[in-house]
Structure 1
């Protein structure tokens, strides 16, 4: 028989089916007391549950006013918080993940009973079904965001999505296809007769995102100062297209217009005027309507296929530009501003091939220190001729070889990329024997200093000991 508790301490009572009922008056999210009743399997579990309820009550942790299933709460969260506060594309992505994965897999569980083991098993099964680790992480992020809101509303006391372990990503990352300078030059040649020549020309030269390019207004083009001001973007697709704010604060930026792009925009303006199109947007359809971003991508890829170019996405052109700017010696901070990234780490992901180029720079540094003037002057068998190939970015930097769309004076150059010490080392190469002699001389100086220091310390110690002896006497 269950022991009798004092008034207000709650109760534990056995059931006919062998289970135990736990009941207590505890604090609710509304601020009032609520009678909570639950059933467990054993008396020990009942005692632990009652202790937990009373502890939360004493610590001011309320229980939910009403219990709902996770699926119902996810719908409430999407409509009440995501749709009013986030961009339509973001809402559409989260709604898709909730509808296809979270509600079918976890939606039947009560929100306050959703446990770590249940959630862990669900995400582990997604990995076993063949879903990529990055996509699983995206689903977990959506669930975590919804549960964080539930914690703030005091419907639950913890966010179990943050406590699970995601499957490790074992597969190789998808290799990005980037154009080389030859492909970019060919692309710039084949687009000259296209109606959207100016738009295509800006892909590898401006650093604009697809939405930023299609949302560009004529008032944002300053032909006199040769600048464009990125202030908005076109988002959505089909009937859901609309002009909205930029992706991040850093996306709001002003970029220089190089001469070929400026001339292309002037020609495009005259063509739009001749067609009678009066839209404030720079790039529109033949009827003056905004261009659907998906249709723009399809047109761009069809253009690549017709002209024998490797098919890439519009967004891959940003990676191509970032990598080419890095090859030309443009500082990473400048590339970050051109692309409109909030973090340098994102820009470093866009720039490919840094490791190989860093190794070549290191070898060139060794070459300039270990190769004599006579050896460097030899036309055959020199390390300099080996590194100065057509594919090396140092050759492009020194010879001024760059794509037809830009120049170092406009987009940045290699000046001050190397330190003054390195410049000095390149101008005055020494032989290996001379370098060894210099090192040996420096070591002799250090040995003499060490010897003199040791003698001085010994003398100081002996003097101190002698003085101590005199004082003791």
Structure 2
């Protein structure tokens, strides 16, 4: 203790039990309400029953490792074990900042490997089918914004009229609606990057204008029982009495429409994944998709962008075309050259006179000066032909070969100098 004091590490004012410290930490935790509620649940259900009686400064790596191993052995899921370690680590990190302990033992434990399951999502065609099926539903404008912008449920139902600028064509995402302690509240967004401006597209403008007309009619019908403010701070989407919409009710309506029309079942959050995947297939830059979805890290955007079999097929077909198209074009060029040469030779042979037979029945032809046979049988001529006729036929054959050779050279040159894109 004396040595730690010399280093500036003063002893704690009191000896903390881990359970008491965790309760104090949750009260002071500067997190969003739902995050604090989730942390409180993990502490109450998993950490305090097993470790709450231990002294905070007596916690060791071995104790933390055995605790998490026992959780997994007792049937808790891998995801639960990872979440429990995450909460314990956050609490011990805060204790280090308060100089209550010198190390975070939760960071040193080993956990079973965990890989989150890939979220189900729709193709653009399936999303279109859903929107067509939901066109008559009162929540249709909400579904349009979820599918078009990839909004979170809380962001969609937390949209206010002051956040919609029809003149400048901008939709501002500034808050969300969540149920906290049994009450629907307008709270801050999930992260700082979740605060963003989106362009007011034509489809969104149309459904929002219709929603404003419907809300005016609902307010007039409700009269004094209308519970909203009635000004620019009023929510865009409310109940018939002006109260905030419950996001879980939006999710239930979504699943009901899917069941009624035989659509493949996904969660309503899957619309966010579907939006990101559609942007990827349309070759939207990942940085733009990140900004549209309001992610703080582009790696998070990658989780939302799914790769299907059709996307793989299109990519590999491009690779196939790049690797093998040049060889295929050259082979076709060779075939065309051979065909052109054969056609030219056949045409030339038809224009030459037929060869005659000698009196003894042998074919007569003229060769070189040594009277040996030449390599071209089209130089056959009957005995008795004049010298002028023989020279003319030789010149015709030479011209035919020259044309064939020139055509071949041009074709090969075009194939080599102009490879396929």
Fold equivalence (TM over 0.5): yes
CA 1:352–1:435: 2 relative to 1, 3 Å: farther
- Partner SS state of residue 330, structure 1: coil
How far, CA to CA, are the matches of 2:178 and 2:150 in structure 1?
17
- Quote how far apart the aligned CAs of 1:159 are: 1.6
CA deviations over 1:240-282 (Å, ceiling 9, x no partner):
3211222222211111222222111111111110111637100
- Partner SS state of residue 101, structure 1: helix
- Partner SS state of residue 243, structure 2: coil
1:63 maps to 11
2:208 maps to 265
2:283 maps to 329
How far, CA to CA, are the matches of 1:311 and 1:143 in structure 2?
36
CA deviations over 1:314-367 (Å, ceiling 9, x no partner):
211100011011111211111111101111101011000079736632431441
CA 1:205–1:162: 2 relative to 1, 3 Å: same
Match of 2:272 among 279, 297, 318: 318
CA deviations over 1:284-314 (Å, ceiling 9, x no partner):
1111100122222122212221221122222
Aligned partners of 1:238 and 1:292 also within 8 Å: no
1:228 paired to 2:182: no
1:88 maps to 33
- Quote how far apart the aligned CAs of 1:375 are: 6.8
1:138 paired to 2:83: yes
How far, CA to CA, are the matches of 1:211 and 1:69 in structure 2?
38
Name the TM-score, length of structure 2 as normaliser. Answer: 0.71
- Quote how far apart the aligned CAs of 1:156 are: 1.8
CA deviations over 1:361-388 (Å, ceiling 9, x no partner):
2431441564369979x9xxxxxxxxxx
1:295 paired to 2:261: no
- Quote how far apart the aligned CAs of 1:152 are: 2.1
How far, CA to CA, are the matches of 2:304 and 2:203 in structure 1?
25
CA 1:291–1:350: 2 relative to 1, 3 Å: same
Asked which structure has the greater CA Rg, the reply is: 2
How far, CA to CA, are the matches of 2:307 and 2:178 in structure 1?
31
How far, CA to CA, are the matches of 1:250 and 1:100 in structure 2?
32
- Partner SS state of residue 241, structure 1: strand
How far, CA to CA, are the matches of 1:373 and 1:195 in structure 2?
59
- Tell me the number of residue pairs that the alignment of Structure 1 and Structure 2 aligns: 328
Aligned partners of 1:237 and 1:293 also within 8 Å: no
CA 1:145–1:435: 2 relative to 1, 3 Å: farther
Worse-superposed segment, 61-70 or 202-211: 61-70
- Quote how far apart the aligned CAs of 1:57 are: 4.0
Worse-superposed segment, 66-75 or 303-312: 303-312
1:400 maps to none
How far, CA to CA, are the matches of 1:249 and 1:175 in structure 2?
26
1:249 maps to 192
1:182 maps to 125
Aligned partners of 1:88 and 1:236 also within 8 Å: no
Match of 2:102 among 144, 157, 178: 157
- Equivalent positions of 1:281-430 (< 5 A) are 281-353=235-307, 357=311, 360-368=314-322, 370-371=324-325
Structure 1, unmatched stretches of 5+, are 1-52, 379-431, 439-473
1:111 maps to 56
Aligned CA RMSD, in angstroms, stands at: 2.8
Name the TM-score, length of structure 1 as normaliser. Answer: 0.64
How far, CA to CA, are the matches of 1:94 and 1:200 in structure 2?
31
How far, CA to CA, are the matches of 2:92 and 2:122 in structure 1?
43
1:218 maps to 161
How far, CA to CA, are the matches of 1:314 and 1:126 in structure 2?
31
- Quote how far apart the aligned CAs of 1:188 are: 1.2
